[in-house]
């Protein structure tokens, strides 16, 4: 946005608010993959909801996790919801707590699942996710 409006700083919204110094330029790559704030939120989400150890974030969001396309499809939908939620907080210029972030991701996720039975099947038959009752 700083390209279009000189009154908007070029620094990462989350790094500026969190005072993560030095504040990096806000690029898509930084915001979604290297920002300490978003990395922390994503790491906590992964620990809470995923059964597998995941590769570094750039591979997590851009490549197949397993050779099984059905598993990847559900997982890719989950990552898109994570990115969408991060973007919404960025637009609001708010750094969410992990609890707020997870609540919002859950809300967006459940909205998508209600809209698509196929997606619901991909998620609930997906061994990459923790489900209620899983250890």
The structural domain count of the chain equals 1
- The answer to the question of residue 41 being in a domain is yes
In a domain? residue 135: no
Tell me what pLDDT residue 2 has. 42
The answer to whether the pTM exceeds 0.85 is no
Bond preceding residue 40 cis, omega within 30 of 0: no
Q: Which residues of 57-92 are buried (b: 16+ CB within 10 A; e: fewer)?
A: beebbeeebeeeeebbebbbbbbebbbebbeebbee
Domain of 93, in residue numbers: 13-124
The whole-number pLDDT of residue 104 equals 94
Flag whether 80 is in a domain. yes
| CA dihedral for 62, 67, 72, 73, sign (positive or negative) | positive
Classify residue 8: in a domain, yes or no.
no
Question: In the chain, which stretches have pLDDT less than 50?
Answer: 1-5, 7, 132-133
Q: Is residue 4 part of a domain?
A: no
Does residue 35 fall inside a structural domain?
A: yes
């Amino acid at each position: 946005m700083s390209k279009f409006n000189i009154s908007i700083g070029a620094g990462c919204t989350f790094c500026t608010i969190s005072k993560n110094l030095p504040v990096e330029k806000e690029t898509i790559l930084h915001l979604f993959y290297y920002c300490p704030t978003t990395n922390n939120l994503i790491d906590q989400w992964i620990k809470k909801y995923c059964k597998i150890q995941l590769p570094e974030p750039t591979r997590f969001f851009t490549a197949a996790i397993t050779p099984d396309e059905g598993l990847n499809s559900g997982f890719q939908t989950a990552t898109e919801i994570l990115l969408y939620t991060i973007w919404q907080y960025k637009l609001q210029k708010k750094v969410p707590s992990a609890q707020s972030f997870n609540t919002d991701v859950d809300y967006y996720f459940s909205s998508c699942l209600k809209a698509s039975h196929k997606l619901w099947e991909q998620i609930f038959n997906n061994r990459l996710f923790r489900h209620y009752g899983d250890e």
